[in-house]
Chains A and B, each alone.
Chain A
Amino acid sequence: MARVQVLDSRGVGRVLERMAAEIVERAGDEKLLYLVGIQTRGVPLAKRLAGLISARTGHQAPVGALDITLYRDDVGPWRAAHQQPVLRSTQLPVAVDGRIVCLVDDVLYTGRTIRAALDTLMDYGRPRAIRLAVLIDRGHRELPIAADFVGRTVPTAAREDVQVLLRETDVDEGVWLASEEVAG
């Protein structure tokens, strides 16, 4: 397994700082912002972005957590593995209606998670707008979905694996690109 570091802990911090600035600029009125992290690693990232936005504007935007499992397109008859994904909690402390919801996830890949997240969110109300912020965009989209705020675009091969570790959920912090070494 070959592993190349894309971002270290300081790099993650810098990238988030820039994304926070972009989110505020694009929102116009930061009081409408609502950061919603997709379980699992989107949640600490949403919290960090809210902290950076607060430091920048003095406004503490609400933070939510979204579990998209029950909306996945690979649950049920299409699912190959004989196992249901474990449910995690959805916590939306304030209503999404009229808010500019910024969905936050660690890696944007096929776009299927985001499709499920959009459907989940719609069942909670009618946001004024939904935007998407991702730490890494690794390409290979299978649905017509694009992120509004991207920390780093990393061109990858499908067999490669993007590993995002955060201090809130993991021991280490950083982004790595891992690939199976070709045998022989």
Chain B
Amino acid sequence: MSVQRATKLRSKDLVGIDPLSPAEIQLILDTSVEMQEVAQRPIKKVPALRGKTVVNFFMEASTRTRFSFEVAEKRLSADSLNFTASASSVSKGESLIDTARNLEAMQPDFLVIRHSYAGAPHQLAKVLKASVINAGDGAHEHPTQALLDALTIRQRRGTLEGQVVAIVGDLEHSRVVRSNVILLSRMGATVRVAGPPSLIPVGMDKMGCEVHRRMEDAVAGADVVMMLRIQLERQGRMNFPTVREYYDFFALTPERLKLAKKDCLVMHPGPMNRGVEIDSRVADGPQSVILEQVTNGVAVRMAVLYLLAGGYGEPTAD
């Protein structure tokens, strides 16, 4: 399977990985590679998005993703405005659509949205003229995270095709796992997931991944192990007895990592709970590419902004 590269994106928005074709994913990853070079320059800024306005609409806590988008916007010379839930009229009872329409009345070109409700970006994409980029919606999708993970894997391993990627942890509350399973399987990788049965959502096996109950089975012989954060703030009920017991069964320890390939990559989307899902010796070890993921996040977001700024749709006669 060799994936052709698209010449453009078909949609004005990036609401998820699911609507993307392999050729579009390839285009975003290839463009990201060239964007990485901008960060190496003495002047880390290019004029490509001069005069474009981006609203970063974050209705849920985020530091990494919001900062990453902001850096990407600034490197492309776009103007960014930050909008956070606590300091906004949302806390005064305004509906999501009304808030977004009011923001749009100020003519932004992009709306980057993080929201606790799945589907919020899709809903906004339908009513707004601006390009909507999903920066995480509930437990649904987090497309730019999956793209930066894919870029990291592709650069370290040369290809995504044929890679065995184990994703372990809180599958129920994770949007990262959904976007990653779709992207990786679409690009020819084998995805195995594992987690406590109480944190495996119904229908996970129908997403095109192998579901394991024992972490050891997922990690054995893997090229990449991606650990998910235990979202302690989202545990409505107790899904596992204690954090200590979780560590005993599902943390990535040096012993468990030995089951994977010798040069297996260790990934984590952050923020990490050290000593819960990942052992510090692994997180800071030589196989960890966790900080590389953060660096790649900026390049991927630059690529997405650049490609969406170029218009969208089926090819037209030039």
Residues of A with Cβ closer than 8 Å to B? Answer: 67, 69-71, 75-77, 79-84, 86-90, 119, 123-125
* Chain B hits for A124, CB < 8 A: 41-43
B311 at the A interface (CB under 8 A): yes
Are B7 and A83 touching (Cβ within 8 A)?
Answer: yes
* Chain A hits for B76, CB < 8 A: 70
* Chain A hits for B49, CB < 8 A: 76
* Chain B hits for A71, CB < 8 A: 46-48
A36 CB to nearest chain B CB (Å):
14
Are A83 and B34 touching (Cβ within 8 A)?
Answer: no
Are A76 and B50 touching (Cβ within 8 A)?
Answer: yes
Majority SS at the chain B contact face: loop
Are B37 and A90 touching (Cβ within 8 A)?
Answer: yes
Stretch at the interface among B96-104, B153-161, B302-310: B302-310
Count of B interface residues, CB-CB < 8 Å: 31
Contacts A70-B48, A76-B51, A76-B52 given; indicate if A87 touches B311 (C-beta within 8 A). no
Pick from A75, A123, A125: contact of B310, CB under 8 Å = A75
Are A125 and B311 touching (Cβ within 8 A)?
Answer: no
Cα A84 to Cα B310 with chains together (Å): 5
Smallest Cβ-Cβ distance to A123: which chain B residue:
B43
Cα A64 to Cα B43 with chains together (Å): 18
B186 at the A interface (CB under 8 A): no
Are B34 and A79 touching (Cβ within 8 A)?
Answer: no
* Chain B hits for A75, CB < 8 A: 48, 309-310
B313 at the A interface (CB under 8 A): yes
Cα A79 to Cα B51 with chains together (Å): 14
Cα A123 to Cα B41 with chains together (Å): 8
Cα A79 to Cα B310 with chains together (Å): 8
Smallest Cβ-Cβ distance to A84: which chain B residue:
B310
25 examples of A-B residue contacts, CB within 8 angstroms: A71-B47, A71-B48, A75-B310, A76-B51, A76-B309, A81-B318, A82-B315, A82-B316, A83-B7, A83-B310, A83-B311, A84-B309, A84-B311, A86-B7, A86-B31, A87-B31, A87-B35, A87-B306, A89-B33, A89-B37, A90-B37, A123-B41, A123-B46, A124-B41, A124-B43
Majority SS at the chain A contact face: loop
B312 at the A interface (CB under 8 A): yes
B66 at the A interface (CB under 8 A): no
Are A123 and B45 touching (Cβ within 8 A)?
Answer: yes
Binary flags per residue of B149-172, CB closer than 8 Å to A gives 1, else 0: 000000000000000000000000
* Chain B hits for A80, CB < 8 A: 318
B214 at the A interface (CB under 8 A): no
B129 at the A interface (CB under 8 A): no
Are A125 and B8 touching (Cβ within 8 A)?
Answer: no
Cα A90 to Cα B38 with chains together (Å): 9
Given contacts A79-B310, A84-B310, A87-B306, 14 further A-B contacts (CB under 8 A): A69-B48, A71-B48, A75-B309, A76-B48, A77-B51, A82-B312, A82-B316, A84-B307, A87-B31, A88-B34, A89-B37, A90-B37, A119-B47, A125-B42
Are A83 and B37 touching (Cβ within 8 A)?
Answer: no
Instruction: Name, among B8, B48, B76, B316, the residue most crowded by chain A CB atoms within 10 Å (CB to CB).
Output: B48
* Chain B hits for A89, CB < 8 A: 33-34, 37
Smallest Cβ-Cβ distance to A85: which chain B residue:
B310
Smallest Cβ-Cβ distance to A122: which chain B residue:
B43
Pick from B35, B41, B316: contact of A81, CB under 8 Å = B316
Are A82 and B311 touching (Cβ within 8 A)?
Answer: yes
* Chain A hits for B316, CB < 8 A: 81-82
Smallest Cβ-Cβ distance to A80: which chain B residue:
B318
Contacts A87-B34, A87-B35, A88-B34 given; indicate if A82 touches B310 (C-beta within 8 A). yes
Q: Which 3 A/B pairs are nearest by Cβ-Cβ distance?
A: A84-B310, A82-B311, A87-B34
Cα A75 to Cα B46 with chains together (Å): 12
Cα A83 to Cα B309 with chains together (Å): 9
* Chain A hits for B35, CB < 8 A: 87
Cα A70 to Cα B315 with chains together (Å): 21
Pick from B8, B30, B48: contact of A83, CB under 8 Å = B8
Cα A81 to Cα B7 with chains together (Å): 12
* Chain B hits for A67, CB < 8 A: 34
* Chain B hits for A76, CB < 8 A: 48-52, 309
Binary flags per residue of B38-65, CB closer than 8 Å to A gives 1, else 0: 1001110111111110000000000000
* Chain A hits for B309, CB < 8 A: 75-76, 84
Instruction: Name, among A79, A80, A84, A88, the residue most crowded by chain B CB atoms within 10 Å (CB to CB).
Output: A84
Smallest Cβ-Cβ distance to A89: which chain B residue:
B34
